[in-house]
Structure 1
Amino acid sequence: MTDRPSLSVVIPAYNAASTIGQTLAAVKRQSLASRVAEIIVVNNASTDATGAIAEQHGVTVLREERRGPSAARNRGLAGAKGDIVCHVDADAVPTRHWLAELVKPFAEADVLLVGGKTISFPPTTPAQRYTARCGRSEPESFIERPIFPFIPSQNIAFRREPAVAAGGWNEDMITAEDVEFCHRLLQRYPAMRMVFAPSALVMHHDRSTDDELRNQAWMYGQGAAWMYRHHPETVRWDGAKTRAVINVLIRRGLTPLWELCKKAVGAGSHDDLEFATYHRLWTWWWWRGFYQLYQSGEFRPRP
C-alpha cells in the first residue's frame, strides 16, 4: 500500500430517496475528494427512486437484491477498488472534512479500523430527543468497552484487503453486523487496532417515531443476543447477569414515576420526565428482543 492510499466511499441504501441526494452532495464536496477512487451507492432492493437519484449524481450504483445491511456492504466491498473503504449511511450527512479526518489515522500501519463521530440532527420529536440525549451513535464508548468493542457502521473506515480476507460482513445478521465485523477482524488481526477520529463528523437523522424507536431497540437487543450465543469464548450468560437485568428493568421502570413526583413538587423537569419515559421504553424492548433471540436463535420481527 502506498503512503497515500486510495479511498472508496460505499453507501448502502434502502428506500432512501428522501435523503440520499443530500448525502451524496456532501460526499462529493469532501476536501479530500482527489483521493476518492469512487463513490458507490448500493441500492438494496429499494422500491422508491433511490437508485435513480444516485445515478443523477454521477456515482457508481450497484444493486443488491438480498435485503440487509451486510449484503449491501458486501456488494460494495466486492466492487470497491480503494485501499481504504469508508462507509456512511444514506440518511447521514458528513461534514466537509469528514473523509480527511476519518482516513488520517491510517498513516499508522497498525490501524485496521477507524470510527468517526456521529451526532444527531436537531431533534424535533420526543423519540429523537431521547436518542440525541443518549448519544447512542457516538463510538467513543463503544470503542473502549471491554466486551465486543466496535465502531458503528454509519461512520466507519477500514482497510479493504484484510476485510476481504476475513470474509467481509456476516450476511446472516440483520443487525449488530458492525459489532460482529469489528470483533472478527480484530480477532483475525490481533496486532492491529481500531481508533476513534473525533473530527470525522457526520450528522445523522435519528428515528422519529415511538414505533421506529421500539423496532430499533428490539433489533439491537437481538443483535447483542446473537453475539452472546455465537461467541461464548468471549462472554457467557449466567444467573448474575439475569439478576442484573431484572434490577435494571425495575429501576428504569420506576424512574418515570419518580420524575413525575419530582415535577409535581417543582423539583423536576419535563425533559427529565420525557427522557425517563423513553429510557423505560427503550430498555423494555431491547431486553425483549435480546431474550427472544437468545432463546430461539432466530431473528424475528417485533410482535
Structure 2
Amino acid sequence: MTNDQSKVSVIVPIYNGEADLPGLIECLRAQTYPRDRVEYLLVDNNSSDRTGQILATAAAQTSTEKINLQVLTEDKIQSSYAARNKAIRIAQGEIIAFTDADCRPQPDWLEKLVIPFADPIVGIVVGELVALPGNTILEQYAERYELMSQKFLVEHPFCSYGQTANIAIRREIFERVGLFRPYLTTGGDADICWRIQKQTGWKLEFAPQAIVRHRHRANLREFKSQWRRYGTSNRYLHELHGVSLMRELTFRESLYRLSRWLLKELPRDSAKLVIGKAKAIELIKTPIDLIGFQARTAGQKQAQLSEQAKTIEWL
C-alpha cells in the first residue's frame, strides 16, 4: 500500500448514538487505509444523549494517534441527509465514503471500497452489508435471508443503488447533480444514486469484499418500523423517479398464505428439521414475511412526500 492512493473522506451522521459510537470509533481506528490519506467526519445531528461528549473525547484521543477525526454539528435540520450534506461541504477527499453509527466497518473496508475507483468511469462503489451476530428470532431471520445485502439493490430492476451504510461516491459528482435532499426522511440513498446514473455517465460498481457489519432489528417494534420505512421510501421514490409501487398485501392474500403455511409449509419444514435438512428459523419464515409485508404496505399507503422534501441542496 502506497501513499499515492486517493484522499478519502468518511462521513457518519449520528443521532443519539452513545451506545453505538465506541464500537464504531474502534472500527475506524482499525482501518488499514493510510491514515494520512483519510479524514473521518462525524456529524452530531442534534443528539440529546452523550453523543457530543463521546465525540469530543474520541477526537482528542485519536489526534494523538495521527487519525484525522473531526466532529461537526447539524442542528438546523433533523435528517441524516442534512447531516451528510454538512460534512460533504467541507470534505477534502476526492472520494467520499459513507457509513452509519450502528455499523461496524471491517478493518480493510475502506481499502477494498476504494479499489474500483481505479477505473475512471466508476463514480459510485457499493460495499456489502453483513449481519452482526444476533440472538433474537428476528435477527436470525434477517441474517438467514440476507435482509440487508446490497447485492439485491445493485440488481434493482429500476436502477442500481446502494444504502448509505456502505457506499462511496466521487466528490466531483456532487458538483454536477447536487447533494442529498436534506428534508427527505428515507430513500435518499436510492435518490442520489439514480440522479447520478440518470444525469451523468458515471457507472456504479459493486465491491462485495468491502464489508460493513450491521446490527439488525431485534424486536417486533423495530422490525415493523423498518418495513414501514421501506414502504414509505418506495412511495417517495415513485413520486420522485417514477419507480413502480410495490404490490400491496391484501387481507385475503395474507389469510391464504397463512393457511398454506399451516397446512403445507410447516409440516414439510418440520420434517426437514428433524432430519437436519432445515433450520428452525425456516419454520416461521412465512408469518415473519407477512408481518413485514403488511408494515410495508401500510407505509406505502400512508406516506406523503412534502414539497420541501423534493428540495436538493447544492455545493
TM-score range, shorter chain: 0.7 to 0.9
Offset, 1:263:
6.5
Q: Decide whether aligned partners of structure 1 residues 256 and 6 sit closer, same or farther in structure 2, where only a CA change above 3 A counts.
A: same
Asked whether the equivalents of residues 77 and 164 of structure 1 are also in contact (C-alpha less than 8 Å), the reply is no
> Aligned residue for 1:172?
183
SS at match of 1:224: helix
CA distance in 2, matches of 1:161, 1:264: 52
> Aligned residue for 1:103?
114
Find out whether 1:229 has 2:235 as its counterpart: no
> Aligned residue for 2:212?
202
Asked whether the equivalents of residues 6 and 82 of structure 1 are also in contact (C-alpha less than 8 Å), the reply is yes
SS at match of 1:140: coil
Asked whether the equivalents of residues 160 and 204 of structure 2 are also in contact (C-alpha less than 8 Å), the reply is no
Per-residue Cα deviation, 1:60-109 (whole angstroms, up to 9, x for no partner):
11111111121111111112111101111101111111100000000111
CA distance in 2, matches of 1:131, 1:220: 15
Match of 1:64 among 74, 86, 100: 74
SS at match of 2:12: strand
> Aligned residue for 2:16?
15
Match of 2:224 among 203, 210, 214: 214
Q: Decide whether aligned partners of structure 1 residues 107 and 261 sit closer, same or farther in structure 2, where only a CA change above 3 A counts.
A: closer
Structure 1: runs of 5+ lacking an equivalent = none
Asked whether the equivalents of residues 263 and 270 of structure 1 are also in contact (C-alpha less than 8 Å), the reply is no
The more displaced of 251-260 and 35-44 is 251-260
The more displaced of 147-156 and 26-35 is 26-35
Offset, 1:254:
4.2
Q: Decide whether aligned partners of structure 1 residues 277 and 259 sit closer, same or farther in structure 2, where only a CA change above 3 A counts.
A: farther
Offset, 1:277:
1.8
Asked whether the equivalents of residues 41 and 60 of structure 1 are also in contact (C-alpha less than 8 Å), the reply is yes
Find out whether 1:290 has 2:290 as its counterpart: no
CA distance in 2, matches of 1:75, 1:84: 16
> What does 1:1-303 align with in structure 2 at a 5 Å threshold?
4-58=5-59, 59-65=69-75, 66-189=77-200, 191-232=201-242, 235-236=243-244, 246=250, 249=254, 252-254=257-259, 256-258=261-263, 261-262=266-267, 266=271, 270-293=280-303, 296-297=304-305
CA distance in 2, matches of 1:163, 1:3: 23
Offset, 1:48:
0.9
Q: Decide whether aligned partners of structure 1 residues 44 and 288 sit closer, same or farther in structure 2, where only a CA change above 3 A counts.
A: same
Q: Decide whether aligned partners of structure 1 residues 113 and 265 sit closer, same or farther in structure 2, where only a CA change above 3 A counts.
A: closer
Offset, 1:36:
3.3
Offset, 1:297:
3.9
Per-residue Cα deviation, 1:188-214 (whole angstroms, up to 9, x for no partner):
21x221111111111111111100111
SS at match of 2:35: helix
Structure 2: runs of 5+ lacking an equivalent = 60-68, 274-278, 308-315
RMSD value, Cα: 2.5
How many residue pairs match? The answer is: 289
Letter in 2 for 1:15: N
Asked whether the equivalents of residues 3 and 107 of structure 1 are also in contact (C-alpha less than 8 Å), the reply is no
CA distance in 2, matches of 1:75, 1:259: 53
Letter in 1 for 2:55: A
Letter in 2 for 1:257: L
Letter in 1 for 2:211: L
Letter in 1 for 2:24: T
CA distance in 2, matches of 1:180, 1:265: 42
CA distance in 2, matches of 1:270, 1:281: 18
Letter in 1 for 2:262: L
Percent of aligned pairs sharing the same letter: 26
Asked whether the equivalents of residues 105 and 114 of structure 1 are also in contact (C-alpha less than 8 Å), the reply is yes
Offset, 1:161:
1.6
